[in-house]
């Protein structure tokens, strides 16, 4: 990204699942738990095919059975277990997020964020994008994960369906601290936005030769 191509986009999400489980369970999914999860991703492009997607650097979830299931069933998803995880939304719209790895290897983060009344005209995203809408157009469509398995000579492609309209994204302001993020991006200034609701569906996983 950027005029010289020397920038990259790193995002991490914090969200609570709505009864995470296979769609074939139908209404019985309401009996399943709704764990808090965080995905840490780089936006990448495959050099040979030009295919764009995200590459998972780390993922973390608040329940051990879900972490084991992800490691067994999904390629390229380095799932870790959080020691403690919380996301609080107050009546006035403030969002408090806490990801605590405990003694484990999950990434950490603490954020206190409030919604902005309108979209900002300036921010750290200006170093790579002309305006806020261009940034959202790049960051929000994230329906493909890419990872490489050189020991098997293949590219793993996971397709998901989110369908997030950029106009639904709410800009946020506040503080974000994370030793895990600092180890990756140094002193880069963070920015945040909220997607109030997402229908997540995993469409499938395919393999292609490198």
Return the pLDDT at 49: 81
Residues 6 or more apart whose CB falls under 8 angstroms from that of 61 comprise 35, 36, 37, 38, 67, 70, 79, 80, 81, 82, 85
pLDDT of amino acid 25: 67
pTM of the model as a whole: 0.84
- pLDDT, residue 72, reads 77
Residues of the chain with pLDDT under 50: none
């Amino acid at each position: 990204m950027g005029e010289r191509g020397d920038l990259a986009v790193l995002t991490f999400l914090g969200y609570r699942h709505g009864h995470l489980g296979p769609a074939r369970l139908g209404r019985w999914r309401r009996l399943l738990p709704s764990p808090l999860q965080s995905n840490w991703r780089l936006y990448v492009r495959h050099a040979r095919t030009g295919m764009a997607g995200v590459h998972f650097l780390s993922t973390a979830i608040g329940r051990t059975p879900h972490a084991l299931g992800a490691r067994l069933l999904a390629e390229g998803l380095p799932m870790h277990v959080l020691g403690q995880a919380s996301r609080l939304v107050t009546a006035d719209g403030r969002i408090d997020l806490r990801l605590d790895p405990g003694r484990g290897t999950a990434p950490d983060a603490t954020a206190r964020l409030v919604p902005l009344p309108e979209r900002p005209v300036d921010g750290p995203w200006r170093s790579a994008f002309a305006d806020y809408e261009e940034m959202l157009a790049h960051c929000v469509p994230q329906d493909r994960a890419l990872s490489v398995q050189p020991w098997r000579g293949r590219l793993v492609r996971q397709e998901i369906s989110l369908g997030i309209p950029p106009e639904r994204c709410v800009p946020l302001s506040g503080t974000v601290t994370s030793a895990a993020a600092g180890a990756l991006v140094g002193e880069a200034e963070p920015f945040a936005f909220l997607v109030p609701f997402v229908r997540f569906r995993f469409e499938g996983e395919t393999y292609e030769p490198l």
